Structure 1
Amino acid sequence: MYTISLDSVCMMRGDTEIISEINHVFSPGSVTVLLGFSGSGKSTLLKLAAGLLTPTSGVVRVNEKSFFQLKRGEEEAFRKNSGFIFQDAALWANQTVFENVAFPLKVHFPHIFGEELSGKVLETMAEVGYRDKPERRPSQISGGEQKMIGIARAIVSHPKLLFIDMPLLNLDSASEARVLELLKKLKIEGTSMIISSGSSHLVSLLADHLLIIDRGKIVESGPFNVVKRSNHPVTKGVLASVLEHVSSYDDDILNLLEDV
């Protein structure tokens, strides 16, 4: 299990501060959902926590060790046991969708090959709902299908920790429901997840902790049941925005409406 901590982390883009003095610990074995208005810095914070971006200042730690001081073997072990689901899928255009999904297995599990590798890849593609031909290129499938392949690539090796950026964006209702059920299954199996999302259904179904972000700063963080009752004006505004297009509510969503 991995504990990810950010100590005084800042991120500049030119003269603009995207992330400002963030201190936070993401506990293992739980699901944290990052919420905030568009442009608040959710995706940048997620990539910093995953070690995909280097902070301008501050330190990102994996189990108390600075991420960028990890030895090669330690970083390889972290990559082997974690996955990242990108908002735009980020598939390799010059590879088939099968090859995209197979990539983590080939890199981190070289002993898996042939029929075993093929079986794992095709099983995972079916699990996320991809029904098209595995030899197609990303340019030959829809944006929603690309997203499904991106999810399959991240979970094919059964990582212990998932970083997930807007997993339901650009998905139809059937695909969205399938992804939610898949993420729920992973949570039950004990997979730690850090998710950037604006989906009320995802928050209600998965969130153990909420992290409210505004203009690159953490406004509020804590257990779902505590933060959803917050009177902080930014938190209330973010939660109201998340709920804006919801037409039917379960009990947790109705609770979110309290004091908003």
Structure 2
Amino acid sequence: MIEIHNVQKSFNGNQVLKGITCTFETGKCNLLLGGSGTGKSVLLQCIVGLMQPDIGSITYDGSVFTNNKVQIRQEIRRKIGMLFQGSALFDSMTVYENTEFPLKMLTPEMTKEERRDRVEFCLKRVGLENAGNKMPAEISGGMKKRVGIARAIAPNCTYLFCDEPNSGLDPLTSLKIDELIHEITHEYNITTAIITHDMNSVVEIGDHIIFLHKGQKLWDGNKEEILNAQVPELKEFIFSSSLVRAAKKVDDESEGGLSAITDSTNSQSAGS
């Protein structure tokens, strides 16, 4: 569990985060939802230590991360896996070498054979057991995301952070990436935090959703509750899509709106 309390961050007098307090729950996909410029990425960077909050605290399973000793912060960082928006693979490394990279950096005590076993396990888990010798330029965008996931979980991460994991992917591939992240989160009881503005991801994997607007947390809940949320800014955000508006109408009539979004999206993907 990751607990964020009253986190504030400003740049040149512009307050980007205005006292964010929330919890990322263990064994769940915790979605940071909101439009562009709402503070999602800044909050994520504060949580993982790439930025220092001006005010507030961040705690990982009871261990205070902000303003703590360097050794304690490093120990926490070793438990963090990152899936970057553009996958951020090393172009000069194979799929196997990209996945092995964090093991070489973070677990020097592992033998070459132990690293090989771990890499092969992670690649198989994401369905890329036969792609280890390929270069990033030789694989699709969806496969690159899978390599990014394999690399993130290779060091047996406790906390997984994903920045727009569906960015640049077609709807069907996005669905598969969502499913993979959700499966891994539940299978290994990871605390997963996902930055997104994609309502399809909300519907598919929104175990816990935190909605940010202009640097403030305005709502949190789950995917079953979000369509009936009574926060004007959230309603404007989610019902900006005609697909979601149609699903809401179905939900009002038959309590099947969430399924309708997924079914409609899958149908569109199959026909494209």
Normalising by structure 1, report the TM-score: 0.80
* AA in 2 matched with 1:237: E
Q: 1:146 to 1:139 in 2, by over 3 A?
A: same
Matches within 5 A, 1:36-55: 36-55=34-53
Residue of structure 2 equivalent to 1:116? 114
1:7 shift after superposition: 2.3
Residue of structure 1 equivalent to 2:235? 236
Matches within 5 A, 1:55-94: 55-93=53-91
CA offset digits 1:176-200 (Å, max 9, x no partner): 2432231222233222211112333
Residue of structure 1 equivalent to 2:204? 205
* AA in 1 matched with 2:198: S
1:6 shift after superposition: 2.2
Do the aligned partners of 1:106 and 1:113 also contact (CA within 8 Å) in 2?
no
1:247 shift after superposition: 9.2
The worse-fitting range, judged by mean Cα deviation, of 135-144 and 212-221 is: 135-144
Q: 1:113 to 1:240 in 2, by over 3 A?
A: farther
1:30 shift after superposition: 2.6
CA offset digits 1:1-54 (Å, max 9, x no partner): xx3222221222334322222122223333221111122222222222222321
Q: Quick one: percent identity of the two aligned structures?
A: 28
Residue of structure 2 equivalent to 1:154? 152
- In terms of fraction of residues, the more helix-rich structure is 2
Q: Count residues with an aligned counterpart.
A: 255
Pick from 1, 4, 15 the counterpart of residue 2 of structure 2.
4
Separation in structure 2 between the aligned mates of residue 41 and residue 253 of structure 1, nearest angstrom: 27
Separation in structure 2 between the aligned mates of residue 167 and residue 111 of structure 1, nearest angstrom: 31
* AA in 2 matched with 1:253: L
SS at match of 2:239: helix
1:212 shift after superposition: 0.9
RMSD: 3.3
The worse-fitting range, judged by mean Cα deviation, of 31-40 and 43-52 is: 43-52
Do the aligned partners of 1:91 and 1:138 also contact (CA within 8 Å) in 2?
yes
The worse-fitting range, judged by mean Cα deviation, of 194-203 and 143-152 is: 143-152
1:254 shift after superposition: 5.1
Separation in structure 1 between the aligned mates of residue 55 and residue 209 of structure 2, nearest angstrom: 24
Normalising by structure 2, report the TM-score: 0.77
Pick from 7, 25, 41 the counterpart of residue 27 of structure 1.
25
Q: 1:65 to 1:119 in 2, by over 3 A?
A: closer
Separation in structure 2 between the aligned mates of residue 22 and residue 150 of structure 1, nearest angstrom: 28
Unpaired runs of 5+ residues, structure 2, are: 262-272
* AA in 1 matched with 2:196: S
Do the aligned partners of 1:228 and 1:255 also contact (CA within 8 Å) in 2?
no
Q: 1:188 to 1:24 in 2, by over 3 A?
A: closer
* AA in 1 matched with 2:217: I
Do the aligned partners of 1:144 and 1:170 also contact (CA within 8 Å) in 2?
no
Unpaired runs of 5+ residues, structure 1, are: none
Residue of structure 2 equivalent to 1:253? 258
Separation in structure 1 between the aligned mates of residue 183 and residue 242 of structure 2, nearest angstrom: 24
* AA in 2 matched with 1:231: Q
